[in-house]
Amino acid sequence: MEEFLAECGELLADSLDYTGSMSHVDVSTDEYTDGYEISARLDDMKADDDSIPPVEDMVISEDHSYYDTIDSVFSDIRSNITTSGVEVSSIVIKPVSDFSDTDVDWELYTQQDCDYTVFVGFVSHTVPDDIESALSEEVVSDLSVRDPDVSTDMLSEVFYFYSDISEVSLEGVYGQVRTSAPHEYYSEVESVTEYVSQISDTAEEYDELIKQGVFTVDWRLDTLDSLPPESVCEVGNSAMTEFIEDTVSIAYPEYLIEGEGVCFGSDLDEGEGPVIRYYGHIPITNGVIGSVN
């Protein structure tokens, strides 16, 4: 694998007429790339006042002489991954990150475990009814402390997002709700009229909002200092873990899977959801995919 990435780096250097040193060479493909992309940091191009060298890339299309070599490596990876109900949205072969000298509680692979990783993105553009129901009910259960009349059909946007430094660990839950009691979601106002006064700029706008009667307001179950309630984390983690187990099988002996997020709701922006995403991390040691030190 080291030789493969070195050759890819040479291709990129030749295309740029660059003779300096490179680092972080990786090769990737995704749903938006027609072929494979090689990228790297050009170490000798770093400005004196810049801590990170610039990144350059090139696309290896199907008519390139090196396409078949790259495609063979990626085809072998794909042949060891079986999916059901999800798509492989991206595959990246890259040097593994090193967090040994930081205070980050990194639980995924580091340079102490392996040399490189295969990073695989998985996505489903539908959220199963049982998952949406379970996650919605947890949100409503928590929000009902503020708004006793809240129900699942009032949730217009729901986002569950997970830690990016561990496998499946819920980190936050937020979204929007349509409610006739918007003041219940803000500690600084005590009534609907006070809430509307705060958000309207003119008397005409105030009257129109009062007449409207239903408001879309933001809510959040986590804070800067705390995770969502324990019961929400338990349900969120269980839902993601079970979904992963039901939708992917990886034949390599060693790998980790990181939960990314779940979002659903009637008012999501186009392209935003519904969606479930997670990522596979497959280690490469001494050129062997699926092995660790």
Q: What's residue 122's pLDDT?
A: 98
* 104-134 pLDDT tens trace: 678 899 888 999 999 999 999 999 999 999 9
Rounded CA-CA distance 170/136 in Å is 15
CA distance to 114, 200, 201, 210, 217, per residue, from 207 (Å): 63, 9, 11, 5, 18
* 226-282 pLDDT tens trace: 999 999 999 999 999 999 999 999 999 999 999 999 999 988 776 677 999 999 999
Which pTM was predicted? 0.92
Q: What's residue 102's pLDDT?
A: 60
Mapped onto helix, strand or coil, the DSSP state of residue 289 is: strand
Q: Are 126 and 86 in contact (CB under 8 A)?
A: no
Q: Which residue has the higher pLDDT, 101 or 109?
A: 109
Tokens coding 86 = 């999800």
Q: What's residue 282's pLDDT?
A: 97
- Is the dihedral angle over the CA atoms 231, 233, 237, 240 positive or is it negative? positive
> What's the pLDDT band for 52 if we cut at 50, 70, 90?
confident
Q: What's residue 14's pLDDT?
A: 96
- Percent of the chain beyond pLDDT 90? 83
Q: What's residue 157's pLDDT?
A: 95
Q: What's residue 214's pLDDT?
A: 93
Asked whether residue 79 carries a pLDDT value surpassing 80, the answer given is: yes
Asked whether residue 100 carries a pLDDT value surpassing 60, the answer given is: no
Determine the average pLDDT of the residues in 23-43. 94
Rounded CA-CA distance 199/145 in Å is 24
Cβ-proximal residues to 78 (8 Å cutoff; 6+ apart), any chain? 88, 91
Domain ranges of the chain: 1-79, 129-279
Provide the b/e sequence for 184-193 (b: ≥16 CB within 10 Å).
Answer: bbeeebeebe
